[in-house]
Structure formats: structure tokens, C-alpha cells
């Protein structure tokens, strides 16, 4: 597929944007190619500036659950734009959004809107510290919680792909109170809690590790975290930036039946618009200014356009639960068929998946944590990625990212994707 316009745009971008992209996850450096610059998207497909059309499995990194440019959401956004793009003042739509979330997510009694998942996590952890009077946080190696300084310790996602476990510019002082445990290893968490009695404000976790590929929690792991946090009077924070409203309307916490003390969301609540939120128990959230002493602010938080888009999507998802049934069935068709093919052909790769989330790892090892995820062959993934792109399949340009199905994906999309997957492995074997 021709990519001349994308290549020219990347050359221009590289002169005025660091690395030529505004987020490392868009970079194609890990697979030795040029980023495709996207012109438009509709349903399950995305089209670049050269006119190439792809079946898209990025879905704006998860939030386009209904597919790209859904007419129902677009119409709501257009009407909202006609009233004004931004006010910097309180609006009715942000109240409606907060009421809707609090009414339908059992763990959330109060919620604060912010502008990104990074901001949501940073704020939630500040509240956890303010509420408990403690300073230390436990996170898990390979779980990514945004790019705030304290969380760039053994982070996953784009940081993982680039081979930089932390980040230049993050001082030891910023991370001295962040401790790292092993995902799916309750013993590592218990050890840290016992070694620092009365000092840990919160344990934060991606209930499904979706920033080191897709890594599922072992049976009893999440409940074990809940029990440990209760025992040590530590708050449990679920980072549902990826899983929230995707693994079912109540997210991973509803799917697994675990009640966290605080929850963070990202662009998922804005149907892809730049937005985020954090919420939880009322006694904790009342610590947030101006109600309490924990300061957090955002001039454009609760932007009316983002709120309109997000509320429209959440209302559709709530009123049409069959969407989640379709996503589950399509996930099993795609990922389950990939899994069967790998087993049948005895190909040393792993496919981790749950509901509409999936990841193909180029490793013979079962992937259950950060260390096992890192055994994946990123060079082989680069070859696979290029093959899929040429076949009209748009994947994340990095081994350690999830694939996202949307309600707009069809059986034909899945069949075409499976055909491309099989063609790749058959060509490798031959």
C-alpha cells in the first residue's frame, strides 16, 4: 500500500514535533516504519491520507466501543457545538454525566471529571494519601497508569516498547514512595505491606493488565488484593482507563465482582474525546477541594462537548446490553479462532484475551506478568505488523498493546483478519 503522503507528513512533523508524533504510542519506530496519518474513520474502518482503508483494531485506544464516528454520538456533539465549545463554567451536562455514573457504577458515590486518564490517576492517588494520611503507593510492574512522575516506575505500554523502564526527568524524590509488586503475585504485595506497616495509602492495579499486552488476573488475585487492603487499612484503586465500560457496563470490577475504593477512567467516558474521571466512596471523595483539603483542579474539566459525547455513548451502552453480548461473541470468534489455529499448527505464540480485548504474544511462554510478557519477540511482531498492515489490518505498532473490537466490527471483518493471520504464519512456516 502506498504511503507517500504519510511519509511526507512524517518528515514535516519530525521538524516541529518531538519524534514526529504527539504520543509515543503512535510512533512506528519499534516496527521500523512510518506512521500512517489518518484522514477519516467510520464504523470498523479507518482511512489514511493516501486513501488506504484498514480494518481498525485500535479504536482510538479503546473508547470507540460503538465504532468510529457513530452517527448518534456525532449528532449529539454537533448540537452541543452549536451552543458553544467551552465555557470554563459549570454546566448541566456535567451534572447529568456525574449522576449517570454514580447511579450505575455501584462503587462510585461521587465522581470528579478531569481531562485525561493520567490526570485521573494522579488525582486519585493524591486523594488516597490525603484520606489515609499515608505516603506510599504500591503499583505493579508492567501496569501503566499514565505519565505522572510517581507512576513512571516499571511502566508498561509505550514505555515498555521503547525499552525504557522509567523516564529521564523523573527524579528519585518523585518515585521514592512508589513501590512495585509483581502482577498476579499476592505474596509480593503482602511482603511490601508488612515491610511498611501503616505507611501504604493505596494499591493501584489494572484489573486486567492491558498495557503489557493483555494479561488476565489469576483466579483469586483481585479478591486477594481486596482482602489485603482491608487487612492493612489501605485503599484499593482500580485503574479502569481501558477496562471501564468495555468489559461490560460496570467494567472489570463488575465482571470480577470486586469493589474498589476508588476507580479511574480515561477517554472511555468521552467516547474518545480527551476526558477522564475518578470516583469512589463518598467519605473519600469529600476530601477533594473545594469540599475538602485535597487540592485538584482543571479549568476545562467537564468540557460540555466531551460530556455530551461521553454521556451519549454511556446511555446507549446501558440501554442496549446486547452490544456487550455481541462484543463477547466477536471476541471469541476472533481470538478463540486465533488460539485454535496456533494450537493446531503448534506455533509457539500465545493469545491472551477476554471479552473484546486481545493480544498476540510472540513467545512460547504463558504470559501472566511483566517478566513473562517481556519474553515476547518484538522483532517478529514488527514483521507480523507490516504483513497485517499490507493486508488491510490496522493494529497497534507495538507488541505490548491490546487489540480492541467494537460493535461495528462484522463477521466479514473477523474473517478477513483471520485470513491475514493464517497467511502470515503459513508464510513463516514455509
Q: How confident is the model at residue 205 (pLDDT cuts 50, 70, 90)?
A: very high
404 within 8 A of 210, measured Cβ to Cβ: no
Q: How confident is the model at residue 162 (pLDDT cuts 50, 70, 90)?
A: very low
User: How many angstroms separate the Cα of 326 from the Cα of each of 69, 403, 416?
Assistant: 19, 16, 18
The DSSP code for 105 is -
Percent of the chain with pLDDT over 90: 89
Buried b (16+ CB within 10 A) or exposed e, 230-253: eebebbbbbbbbbbbbbbbbbbbb
Span 4-69+321-429 CATH architecture: Alpha-Beta Complex (3.90)
User: How many angstroms separate the Cα of 430 from the Cα of each of 145, 281, 377, 422?
Assistant: 41, 57, 19, 12
Percent of the chain with pLDDT over 70: 97
Catalytic residue among 136, 139, 267, 374: 267
pLDDT tens digit sequence for 219-255: 999 999 999 999 999 999 999 999 999 999 999 999 9
pLDDT at 158 over 60: no
Helical axes 186-195 vs 221-231, angle rounded to 10°: 10
The full set of domain ranges for the chain reads 4-69+321-429, 71-319
Distance of CA 37 to the CA centre of its chain: 21
pLDDT of residue 155: 56
User: How many angstroms separate the Cα of 263 from the Cα of each of 37, 153, 295, 388, 397?
Assistant: 33, 20, 18, 35, 28
Determine the average pLDDT of the residues in 113-134: 97
The answer to whether domain 71-319 has CATH 3.40.1390.10 is: no
pLDDT of residue 154: 62
Q: Model-level pTM greater than 0.85? A: yes
pLDDT tens digit sequence for 340-351: 999 999 999 999
pLDDT of residue 166: 62
The dihedral through the CA atoms of 64, 67, 69, 73 has a sign that is negative
pLDDT at 365 over 60: yes
Say which residue, 58 or 29, is predicted with more confidence: 58
109 within 8 A of 282, measured Cβ to Cβ: yes
Q: Where are the alpha helices (DSSP H) in 4-70?
A: 4-16
Catalytic residue among 144, 256, 278, 335: 144
pLDDT at 159 over 80: no
Is 239 an active-site residue? yes
E-assigned strand segments in 246-318: 262-265, 276-280
Catalytic residue among 48, 59, 239, 261: 239
398 within 8 A of 158, measured Cβ to Cβ: yes
pLDDT tens digit sequence for 63-120: 999 999 999 999 999 999 999 999 999 999 999 999 999 999 999 999 999 999 999 9
Mean pLDDT of all residues belonging to the chain: 94
SS3 320: coil
Amino acid at each position: 500500500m502506498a504511503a507517500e503522503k504519510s511519509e511526507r507528513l512524517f518528515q514535516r512533523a519530525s521538524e516541529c514535533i518531538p519524534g514526529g508524533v504527539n504520543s509515543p504510542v503512535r510512533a512506528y519506530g519499534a516496527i521500523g516504519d512510518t506512521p500512517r496519518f489518518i484522514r477519516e474513520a467510520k464504523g470498523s474502518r479507518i482511512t489514511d491520507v493516501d486513501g488506504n482503508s484498514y480494518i481498525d483494531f485500535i479504536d482510538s485506544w479503546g473508547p470507540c466501543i460503538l465504532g468510529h464516528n457513530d452517527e448518534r454520538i456525532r449528532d449529539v456533539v454537533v448540537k452541543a457545538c452549536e451552543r458553544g465549545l467551552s465555557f470554563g463554567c459549570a454546566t448541566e451536562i456535567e451534572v447529568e454525566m456525574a449522576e449517570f455514573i454514580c447511579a450505575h457504577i455501584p462503587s462510585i458515590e461521587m465522581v470528579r471529571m478531569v481531562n485525561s486518564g493520567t490526570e485521573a490517576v494522579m488525582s486519585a492517588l493524591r486523594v488516597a494519601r490525603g484520606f489515609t494520611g499515608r505516603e506510599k503507593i504500591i503499583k505493579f510492574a508492567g501496569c501503566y497508569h499514565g505519565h505522572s512522575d510517581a507512576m513512571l516506575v516499571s511502566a508498561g505500554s509505550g514505555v515498555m516498547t521503547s525499552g525504557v523502564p522509567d523516564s529521564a526527568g523523573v527524579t528519585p524524590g518523585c518515585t521514592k514512595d512508589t513501590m512495585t509488586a509483581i502482577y498476579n503475585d499476592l505474596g509480593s504485595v503482602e511482603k511490601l505491606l508488612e515491610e511498611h506497616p501503616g505507611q501504604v495509602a493505596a494499591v493501584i492495579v489494572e484489573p486486567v493488565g492491558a498495557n503489557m499486552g493483555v494479561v488476565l488476573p489469576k483466579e483469586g488475585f483481585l479478591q486477594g488484593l481486596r482482602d489485603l487492603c482491608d487487612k492493612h487499612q489501605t485503599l484499593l484503586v482500580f485503574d479502569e482507563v481501558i477496562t471501564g465500560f468495555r468489559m461490560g457496563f460496570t467494567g472489570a470490577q463488575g465482571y470480577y465482582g470486586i469493589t474498589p475504593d476508588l476507580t479511574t477512567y480515561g477517554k472511555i467516558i468521552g467516547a474518545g474525546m480527551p476526558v477522564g474521571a475518578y470516583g469512589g466512596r463518598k467519605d473519600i471523595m469529600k476530601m477533594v477541594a473545594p469540599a475538602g483539603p485535597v487540592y485538584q483542579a482543571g479549568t476545562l474539566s467537564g468540557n460540555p462537548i466531551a460530556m455530551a459525547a461521553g454521556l451519549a455513548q454511556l446511555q446507549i451502552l446501558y440501554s442496549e446490553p446486547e452490544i456487550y453480548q455481541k462484543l463477547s461473541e466477536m471476541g471469541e470468534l476472533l481470538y478463540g479462532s486465533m488460539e485454535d489455529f496456533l494450537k493446531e499448527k503448534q506455533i509457539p505464540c500465545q493469545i491472551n484475551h477476554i471479552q473484546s480485548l486481545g493480544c498476540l504474544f510472540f513467545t512460547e511462554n504463558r504470559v501472566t506478568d511483566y517478566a513473562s510478557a517481556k519474553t515476547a519477540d518484538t522483532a517478529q511482531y514488527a514483521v507480523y505488523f507490516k504483513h497485517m498492515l499490507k493486508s488491510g489490518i490496522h493494529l497497534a505498532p507495538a507488541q505490548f498493546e491490546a487489540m480492541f473490537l467494537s460493535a461495528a466490527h462484522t463477521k466479514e471483518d473477523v474473517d478477513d483478519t483471520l485470513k491475514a493471520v493464517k497467511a502470515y504464519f503459513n508464510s513463516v512456516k514455509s
